[in-house]
Amino acid sequence: MKHVTFGSLVAGVAISFASAAVAQVEVQWWHAMGGANGERVDKIAADFNATQSDYKIVPVYKGNYTETMTAAIAAFRAKEQPAIVQVFEVGTATMMAAKGAVYPVEDLMADTGQSFDKSDYLPAVISYYQTPEGKLLSMPFNSSTPVLWYNKDALDAAGAKVPTTWDEVKSASEKLVANGMKCGFSFGWQSWVMIENYSAWHNLPIGTKENGFAGVDTELVFNNDAVENRLQQIADWQKDKLFVYGGRRGDSLPMFTGGECGMWMNSSAYYGSIKGQAEFNFGQTMLPLDTAVADKPQNSIIGGATLWVLKGRPQAEYEGVARFLNYLSSPEVQAWWHQETGYVPITTAAYKLSQEQGFYESNPGTDTAIKELSLNTPTPNSKGLRFGNFVQIRDIINEEMEALWAGDKTAKEAMDAAVERGNALLRKFERSIK
């Protein structure tokens, strides 16, 4: 009799555990964070999962930004989409045009009864992802902006100061090369840094219709004298090794961390990588000003990505998604993510918490990105961009800029070609959504 009772008890416990496992709702989160940032994403998901037993966030790495977005679109068509997908900022217009595919974050939070106040978020971040009526479409997660990284030891040894203008970038580069460095500076994500952010920084339009925010019948206009003159001068500097091109995206990072180039322009989010790789004292400062174009900088624009919620999943998953997004936006999680990676904190509370924790005092310059984004109230030229097919247009811009660096085209020829080819894709996008 005792044996039967014990067996029944074991069976009952097993059933209870099985029921609990079944009751836990799994939520797929497809993302583009590899390496150390991928491990940080895994930690955020695991920490959230440990706070409750109803939902399990399952992060899945799907490759780079383009590959992740492409995979999500294909999965949606096959009705195998995840509940959450990370999409980089230039995919915003494409996601907005995907009728019936997106569950706006603001609607999700209201429908699930989760507390949500847009005023908690940094204006420079959420304005990029709102409809013309002000509805937030996706949840900001990893937002960054380009900064000028510099090798402090190399600048000191060369007798050069940290540059604030493009003339000073040239002067510092000359001194660095004269002191034995293989190059003065390089940059990555060149369309983002040298066209999109250069234009915003100097309050120049990238395209008509408020850079696409005011309508899909927009046209690219970055083939102007300011952009072309700056790029042509950089191309001319190559002969003296003041500038050396190192590839698309972050390919040129080792040129900086390995001590070949004394300066590097790219995302603030490389903080974690540079801190782990550089064997010299480094710093970051604001983007240089082109004094022939503007008297003072306007503001930079963001890069990075947001989390989009896709329709077509069971309702139970959306309850978990909403709770997770609230957790993700909490000051503690955002401050940790910001301090670990160099991405800007998406909320004012996370920024203040980082200040209170003494992070900026201990790590001078790590608030540079926040200062750049908040320098002035954004104008129609500097609040961001919203162009359809811009993932492909960036590839075109990369091709044309690489033709310039190779000496096959002048800056004017390259930019004229990039605008003409890019506008053809804008018209294709406009037709597709009509």
Walk along the chain (434 residues) and give the pLDDT tens digit of each residue.
344 444 444 445 544 444 444 579 999 999 999 999 999 999 999 999 999 999 999 999 999 999 999 999 999 999 999 999 999 999 999 898 888 899 999 999 999 999 999 999 988 888 889 888 889 999 999 999 999 999 999 999 999 999 999 999 999 999 999 999 999 999 999 999 999 999 999 999 999 999 999 999 999 999 999 999 999 999 999 999 999 999 999 999 999 999 999 999 999 999 999 999 999 999 999 999 999 999 999 999 999 999 999 999 999 999 999 999 999 999 999 999 999 999 999 999 999 999 999 999 999 999 999 999 999 989 999 999 999 999 999 999 999 999 999 999 999 999 999 999 999 999 999 999 87
Residue 186, token pair as written in the block: 């390089």
> What pLDDT is stored for residue 124 in this prediction?
81
Could you give the dihedral angle defined by the CA atoms of residues 324, 330, 333 and 339, in that order, rounded to the nearest 10 degrees? Answer: 140
Spatial separation of the C-alpha atoms in residues 62 and 142, rounded to whole Å: 16
> What predicted TM-score, i.e. pTM, was given to this entire model?
0.89
- 286 and 395 share one domain: yes
- 296 and 310 share one domain: no
22 Cβ contact partners less than 8 Å away, ≥ 6 residues apart: none
83 domain residue, yes or no: yes
CA angle 358, 42, 91 (to 5 degrees): 90
Which residue from 143, 6, 152, 145 is spatially nearest to 87, judged by alpha carbons?
143
Which residue from 67, 129, 140 is spatially nearest to 95, judged by alpha carbons?
129
Spatial separation of the C-alpha atoms in residues 231 and 151, rounded to whole Å: 23
Query: Pick from 343, 361, 379: which residue ends a domain?
Result: 361
- 228 and 339 share one domain: no
Spatial separation of the C-alpha atoms in residues 343 and 66, rounded to whole Å: 19
Spatial separation of the C-alpha atoms in residues 283 and 15, rounded to whole Å: 58
- 204 and 275 share one domain: yes
Spatial separation of the C-alpha atoms in residues 140 and 227, rounded to whole Å: 30
- 103 and 30 share one domain: yes
We report the CATH number of the domain holding residue 155 as 3.40.190.10
Could you tell me the CA-to-CA distances from 57 to 41, 305, 315 in Å, in that order?
Answer: 11, 19, 15
> What pLDDT is stored for residue 416 in this prediction?
98
- 287 and 260 share one domain: yes
Counted domains in the chain: 2
> What pLDDT is stored for residue 392 in this prediction?
95
Helix (H, G, I), strand (E, B) or coil at 365: coil
- 200 and 239 share one domain: yes
375 domain residue, yes or no: no
- 130 and 254 share one domain: no
Residue 312, token pair as written in the block: 């077509």
Spatial separation of the C-alpha atoms in residues 332 and 47, rounded to whole Å: 12
> What pLDDT is stored for residue 22 in this prediction?
57
Residue 116, token pair as written in the block: 């949500």
Helix (H, G, I), strand (E, B) or coil at 204: coil
> What pLDDT is stored for residue 98 in this prediction?
86
- 416 and 287 share one domain: yes
Instruction: Write down the H helix ranges in 52-81.
Output: 65-77
DSSP 220-285: B---SHHHHHHHHHHHHHGGGTSB----STTTTHHHHHTTSEEEEEEEGGGHHHHHHH--S-EEEE
Helix (H, G, I), strand (E, B) or coil at 137: coil
Spatial separation of the C-alpha atoms in residues 150 and 308, rounded to whole Å: 35
Alpha carbon distance, N-terminus to C-terminus of the chain: 75
373 domain residue, yes or no: no
367 domain residue, yes or no: no
> What pLDDT is stored for residue 9 in this prediction?
45
- 230 and 292 share one domain: yes
Domain that holds residue 285: 146-300+388-433
8 domain residue, yes or no: yes
- 315 and 331 share one domain: yes
- 250 and 175 share one domain: yes
383 domain residue, yes or no: no
